[in-house]
Chains A and B, each alone.
Chain A
Amino acid sequence: MNRTWCERESDAVRSLRTGLLSPELRDHVLSCAICTEARLAARGILGTASLLHAEHEPPAAGLVWRRAEARRREMDLKRVSRPLVFMRVLSAVYVVLAAAWFLHSFWRSDAVGFLLDWNVLRSETPWFTAVIAVLAIAIGSGYLLHDSRRSGEVAASTSHG
């Protein structure tokens, strides 16, 4: 069975970095195919690494710090606004359920015919008040949901900008 690694491999590669190859390790490398391969591969990779290390200057630390700060603020904002978003979704669900219940009750009563009467607009019927209330809640919830989605998009675009 072919060996896949040698316990002296790291020593053989380290000797490339330090330049210190003891006679004993040299003898081992000459007799070990894995260490020979490792030194050959490592020499190429280490050469590339030293070139890249010397050539490439990392971006300014301040730039990275500011980007991380913006990311942190965005995450804090999301965490803080999470209960608010939950309440908005809950209120939208409530409106839908209330509207369904209202329509169901409305349809089962004889109020349809009653509404067809012009006098309903002038009367202070609780039905009419309820319709206005449900409409107001629906519009308000719709606006709040739209607003929360828009503010989320703005926060995301600001932090990535």
Chain B
Amino acid sequence: MRMTMDEIFPIAGPISTADKEAAAMDEQGFHLLYAATARPILAYLVGVTGRRDVADDLLQETYCRFLVRQPAPMDENETRRYLFRIATNLLRDRWRRREDEPWQEAPEDGFSVDIDMQMDVRAAMVALKPRERELLWLAYVEGMNHAEIAAATGLRTISVRMLLSRARRKAAGLLLPKRETV
């Protein structure tokens, strides 16, 4: 039996401990949630860390924390944002432990539509700092506004605006010499 999205993501509201236990996600609900959200989060983690092995670990840890915490029921979009926030916190923990390695993710040849652009983008990704990759990803891939990025990263909105501006300028500068602007 297929579950509806309302069943996977019940409407948010105040919730008691008993309700929380009753609303705890079952395995089938988790599989649906995972199918809907795991791929973009994995792409985000690979994009920021540049390492598939690290991204796999962080992805599993993200969902483990989500399931163990059993947050109050929320809608699909909020759940997705919440998962991104957990993943972002895990990335920050890694940086605090100084475990970030150089970006080394290389796209497979089968997907190379524009080799020149891929090379430019790869060089830009390597040159950007992890925090800059993270902000650009959340803003441009996930379409988060400054307040949402602030909530996900733990930064202040004004800081997000400044840091994103610098990251955008740096990324554009790295891509500008060879690419057309509009």
A45-B137 contact in complex given A10-B145, A56-B42, A68-B64, C-beta closer than 8 Å: yes
Are B140 and A71 in contact (CB-based, < 8 A)?
Answer: no
**Which of A31-39, A94-102, A112-120, A127-135 contacts its partner?**
A31-39
Are B67 and A52 in contact (CB-based, < 8 A)?
Answer: no
Are A54 and B60 in contact (CB-based, < 8 A)?
Answer: no
Q: Which residues of B contact A13 (CB under 8 A)?
A: 139-140, 143
Complex CA gap A34/B169 in Å reads 8
The residue on A at minimum CB distance from B24 is A72
Contact mask for chain A residues 42-56; partner B; CB cutoff 8 A; 1 contact, 0 none: 111111110111111
SS of B interface (majority): helix
Within 8 A of B (CB), among A45-78: 45-49, 51-59, 61-65, 67-69, 71-72, 75
| A41 close to B (CB within 8 Å) | yes
Are A53 and B60 in contact (CB-based, < 8 A)?
Answer: no
Size range of the chain A interface in the assembly: 35 or more
Contact of A65 among B30, B39, B124 (CB under 8 A): B30
Complex CA gap A56/B58 in Å reads 14
Are A47 and B172 in contact (CB-based, < 8 A)?
Answer: no
| B104 close to A (CB within 8 Å) | no
Are A67 and B140 in contact (CB-based, < 8 A)?
Answer: no
Size range of the chain B interface in the assembly: 35 or more
User: B177 → chain A, closest Cβ, in Å?
Assistant: 11
Are B136 and A71 in contact (CB-based, < 8 A)?
Answer: no
Contact mask for chain B residues 144-182; partner A; CB cutoff 8 A; 1 contact, 0 none: 011000000000000001101101110110011001011
Complex CA gap A4/B56 in Å reads 35
A29-B143 contact in complex given A41-B175, A47-B121, C-beta closer than 8 Å: no
| B11 close to A (CB within 8 Å) | no
Q: Which residues of A contact B114 (CB under 8 A)?
A: 47
Are B67 and A46 in contact (CB-based, < 8 A)?
Answer: no
Contact of B60 among A14, A38, A56, A63 (CB under 8 A): A63
Besides A54-B111, A58-B39, A64-B59, 7 new A-B residue pairs in contact (Cβ under 8 A), listed by A number: A13-B139, A39-B181, A45-B136, A48-B125, A52-B47, A52-B105, A53-B40
